[in-house]
Amino acid sequence: MAPSKKSPKVKAKGKSGTKTAVKKVAKKQKVAAVTAGRSTVNKKAAPAAPTAAVASVPRIKGMPQSLRGMKDTLPLEQKFWRRVKSVAEALAQAYGFECIDTPILEMTSLFVRSAGTQTDVIEKEMFSFIDRGGDNVTLRPEGTAPVVRAYVNHGMVNLPQPVKLYYIGPMFRYERPQQGRYRQHHQFGVEVFGDDNPILDAEVALLAYLFYKELGISSIVRINSLGCNECRPTYREELINYFRPKRSQLCDDCKRRLSKNPLRLLDCKEEGCAALKDEAPQLVDSLDDSCKEHLMRVLEYLDDLQVPYVLDPHLVRGFDYYTRTVFELIPEDGDNKTASLGGGGRYDNLVEQLGGRPTPACGFGIGLERAILQMKAQEIDPPDDSIPDVFVAQLGDSARRKAFALFEELRDAGLRIAGNFTKNSLKAQLEIANRLGAKYTVILGQQEVIDETILIRDMESGMQEIVDYKKAVSDLKKKIVKS
RNA sequence: GUGGCCAUAGUGUAACGGUUAACACAGCAGGUUGUGGUCCUGCUAAUACGGGUUCGAUUCCCGUUGGCCACCCCA
C-alpha cells in the first residue's frame, strides 16, 4: 500500500484534487509494478514466444476483467453445479451411458462439416483462430461433432452397438450475452450410436425430461420429424414453391433462408412470416412411410413412458445434421419464445459424413446454466454439503499443534471438518463456526492439553462437555450419526 | 450482428460541476483472564479504463471495456 496516501502533506497543500492526484500517482505506480512483474513472468514462462507478439500485448490498466460473456463460478454457486452434475451423471450411468471427454479445441472443419455452413452457429458464432502451426482451430460450439469424431477415430463401430456415451463440459459461442446465454456455457449431453430403433429416440428424450424432473423442474418435449434424405428434398421443394410467390411478405432473413436453408423458414418468429407458415405445407404430411412409422413409434414410446410432449410441425433445429426426430425441451409453463432448456434429435448421416461407416445415431444437449436458472426461478435449493459437522477451535500454541493433528484424525474418520488455525481468540473462532453452521465445535486450550481432555460444544444448545481426548473422535462420530 | 438501459468500497445503495464521496451489510481488530448465533467502538475499502469540455469532473460529452434487457439465434 502506498503510505503517502495518509501523509498529512495532502491536507497542507490545500486546494481540491490534491488527494486524487496523490491517489492517481499511487495507482499508476501499482499498475507499473504489476505490468513489469507480468512481463518478466511472461518472458520466463514462454521464451519461445516471438518478442513482437509479447510487445503487442496491450497493457492492462486498472483491474483486469473477465472476458465478455465469461463467468466465474464462485463458491456460493457451487452447490448448484454439484447438484446438476451429479443428477446428470447418476441418470446417464443408470441408463447405461459411459462418460467421454473430448478436447475443447478441435479443427474448425469438424464443425463446419457437421453442423452445416448455413447455420448461425457456424456462420458467425464460433471462437476460431489460427494456431501457431497454422491450423484453423475452434473452441467447440457444441458437443455432438467431437463425440462423433471420437467414435470414428477410435473404431467404436467395433464395439457392441448401440454405443451410449455422455459428456459434461464447456461449449463456446461468440454471441451477445444475455439471460441464460454466455459465451462459455456448459452442456450435459448424451449420444447413442449404431441403431436407428425409435426406442432410442424415446430413451434420449426421456433422459432429458428425467434430468429436469430429478431437479424438480417440470418440462415438456416439443417434437417433430425432419424426414430423411429420401423424403426431405421433396418437402423442401414444396416449401420453396409455397413461399416463393409470397417472397415479398417475408422478412429479410427469411428471404435469404428461402434459397439457402428453406426449412428454417418454419422457425421464424417474425409476425408476417409466422402468419404465412400456418398455411404452409407440413413436414409431417410429406414424410415417407418409414419416417412416418419411425415418428409414430417414438411418440408411442413417449406415451408409454408418460413423457409429456407436443408435436410441433414447425420445430426445426439449429444444426443441419439432424434427420428424422428432432426435439426440444421447454419449461412446462413456457411458450414459443422461452429459451429452450435443451434439445437434440437423430443424425443418421453424420457419422458417415465425418468419414465413418454409415451409422445411425441420436442424442441431446442440455444447457446447465439454464437448468440452474430454472432451479433459482423456482426456488429449488440444492442441499449444501459444505456445511461442516465439526469445527476445531484452539487456544495457544501447543493446543494449536494438537488441534491440527486432531483435524486430520477427524477427517480420516469421515467427518466434515472446518477450522481456522490463524485466529487466536476463541470468540472469533466461534463466530466462524457459527457462520459455517457447524453442528459441534471442539475446543482445545492450554488446560485441555495438560489434562488430556477436550471440550465438545453443541452449537445449537450451547451445552458443553469435557471428554477424554482419546475418546473425542469416536464420541463425535456417534453424535453425528445420531443427528 | 441490431437496438435500448447501465457502470461509485467485497455486496446493496446515497450524493455533488468545487474543500473530507455518505449509509447499510460483509470483512478485520477490540469491549481486560478461554465462548458464537445480541449490543457497542474503531479500522480497512470505491467513483471501470482512456480522452475531451472546464479555473476545477466522480458528476457533462465522446471512445473503449464490461454488465443487464430485447431482437436474431441458441443451450
Span A337-366, average pLDDT? 94
Band of residue A61 on the pLDDT scale cut at 50, 70, 90? low
Query: Looking at the structure, do residues A122 and A8 belong to the same domain, yes or no?
Result: no
Q: Domain of A48?
A: 3-56
For the ranges A79-88, A215-224, A330-339, the lowest mean pLDDT is seen at A330-339
Query: Looking at the structure, do residues A414 and A300 belong to the same domain, yes or no?
Result: no
DSSP H or E segment with residue A300:
helix A289-305
In-domain check, residue A64: no
Rounded to the nearest integer, the mean pLDDT of chain A is: 85
Please state whether strand B lies within 7 Å of residue A13 at its CB atom: no
In-domain check, residue A262: no
Stated in angstroms, how far is A230 CA from B16 C1'? 72
Please state whether strand B lies within 7 Å of residue A120 at its CB atom: yes
Strands A440-444 and A390-394: parallel
Chain A 79..118 CB hits on strand B (< 7 A): none
Residue A40 has pLDDT above 60, yes or no: no
The CATH number for A438's domain is: 3.40.50.800
Please state whether strand B lies within 7 Å of residue A24 at its CB atom: no
In-domain check, residue A384: no
| C1'-nearest nucleotide to the CA of A340 | B75
- Which residues make Cβ contacts (< 8 Å) with residue A191, sequence separation at least 6? A144, A147, A148, A151, A164, A165, A166, A361, A362, A363
Span A365-390, average pLDDT? 91
Residue A6 has pLDDT above 90, yes or no: no
Q: Give pLDDT, residue A66.
A: 86
- Which residues make Cβ contacts (< 8 Å) with residue A437, sequence separation at least 6? A387, A388
Chain A 208..237 CB hits on strand B (< 7 A): none
Predicted ipTM of the assembly: 0.89
Query: Looking at the structure, do residues A144 and A292 belong to the same domain, yes or no?
Result: yes
Of these ranges, A41-45, A75-79, A247-251, A410-414, the one predicted with the greatest mean pLDDT is A410-414
From residue A309, give the alpha-carbon distance in Å to each of A160, A363, A367: 31, 17, 19
Please state whether strand B lies within 7 Å of residue A464 at its CB atom: yes
∠ CA A267-A127-A188, rounded to 5°: 65
Q: Give pLDDT, residue A30.
A: 36
In-domain check, residue A147: yes
Q: Give pLDDT, residue A38.
A: 33
Among A377, A409, A439, give the residue marking a domain's end: A377
From residue A240, give the alpha-carbon distance in Å to each of A185, A237, A244, A270, A446: 36, 5, 6, 18, 87
In-domain check, residue A22: yes
Span A428-444, average pLDDT? 94
Query: Looking at the structure, do residues A360 and A416 belong to the same domain, yes or no?
Result: no
Other beta carbons within 10 Å of A18: 14
3-state helix, strand, coil in chain A (%, to 5): 50, 20, 35
Query: Looking at the structure, do residues A476 and A396 belong to the same domain, yes or no?
Result: yes
Query: Looking at the structure, do residues A48 and A97 belong to the same domain, yes or no?
Result: no
Chain A 389..408 CB hits on strand B (< 7 A): 395
Strand B bases near protein CB (under 7 Å) are 1-3, 18-21, 27-30, 34-37, 45, 47-50, 56-58, 65-75
Query: Looking at the structure, do residues A400 and A311 belong to the same domain, yes or no?
Result: no
What are A222-259's pLDDT values in tens digits? 999 999 988 888 888 888 888 888 877 777 777 777 77
Closest of A448, A447, A416, A410 to residue A433, by C-alpha: A416
Query: Looking at the structure, do residues A96 and A119 belong to the same domain, yes or no?
Result: yes
More confident position, A272 or A34: A272
In-domain check, residue A265: no
Span A44-55, average pLDDT? 37
Please state whether strand B lies within 7 Å of residue A482 at its CB atom: no
Give dist(CA A172, CA A153) in Å, integer. 23
Q: Give pLDDT, residue A365.
A: 97
Please state whether strand B lies within 7 Å of residue A189 at its CB atom: no
Stated in angstroms, how far is A283 CA from B50 C1'? 56
Q: Which long-range contacts (CB under 8 A, 24 or more apart) does A394-397 make?
A: A394/A419, A394/A421, A394/A429, A394/A443, A394/A444, A394/A445, A395/A424, A395/A426, A395/A443, A395/A444, A395/A445, A395/A446, A396/A445, A396/A446, A396/A449
> Helices A368-377 and A198-215, interaxial angle, to 10°?
40
For the ranges A17-31, A54-68, A275-289, A445-459, the lowest mean pLDDT is seen at A17-31
Give dist(CA A481, CA A474) in Å, integer. 11
Query: Looking at the structure, do residues A333 and A396 belong to the same domain, yes or no?
Result: no
Band of residue A91 on the pLDDT scale cut at 50, 70, 90? very high
Residue A189 has pLDDT above 90, yes or no: yes
In-domain check, residue A70: no
pTM for this predicted structure: 0.85
Span A329-351, average pLDDT? 88
Residue located via cell numbers 413423457: A307
Would you say A105 and A140 are in contact if contact means Cβ atoms under 8 Å apart? yes
Among A321, A354, A377, give the residue marking a domain's end: A377
- Structural domains of chain A, count: 3
Query: Looking at the structure, do residues A345 and A459 belong to the same domain, yes or no?
Result: no
Query: Looking at the structure, do residues A372 and A394 belong to the same domain, yes or no?
Result: no
More confident position, A416 or A339: A416
The CATH number for A330's domain is: 3.30.930.10
In-domain check, residue A10: yes
Please state whether strand B lies within 7 Å of residue A34 at its CB atom: no
Query: Looking at the structure, do residues A454 and A399 belong to the same domain, yes or no?
Result: yes
